[in-house]
Structure 1
Amino acid sequence: MSQIKIILVEDHQIVRDGIKSLLANSIDIEIVNEAENAYELFEILKTDLPDIILLDISLPTMSGIEIAKILAREFPSIKILMLSMYTSEDFVFNALKAGIKGYLPKNITRYELILAINEVYKGNEYFSKSISDTILKSYINNAKLNAKSSSEKLDNLTLREKEILRYVAEGYNNNDIVERLNISIRTVETHKTNIMKKLELHNVVELVKFAIKNNIIEI
Structure 2
Amino acid sequence: MTKLSVNINKIATLRNARGGNVPDLLKMASDIESFGAQGITIHPRPDERHIRYQDARDLKKIVATEFNIEGNPVPKFIDLVLQVKPTQVTLVPDAVDAITSNSGWDTIRHKGFLKEVIQTFKKAGIRCSIFVDPEARMVEGAAETGTDRIELYTEYYAKTYGGGNRQEAVKPFVETAEIAHSLGLGINAGHDLSLDNIAFFKQNVPHLLEVSIGHALICESLYLGLDNVINMYKNKLK
**Structure possessing the higher radius of gyration over alpha carbons:** 1
User: TM-score surpassing 0.5?
Assistant: no
TM-score scaled by length of structure 2: 0.32
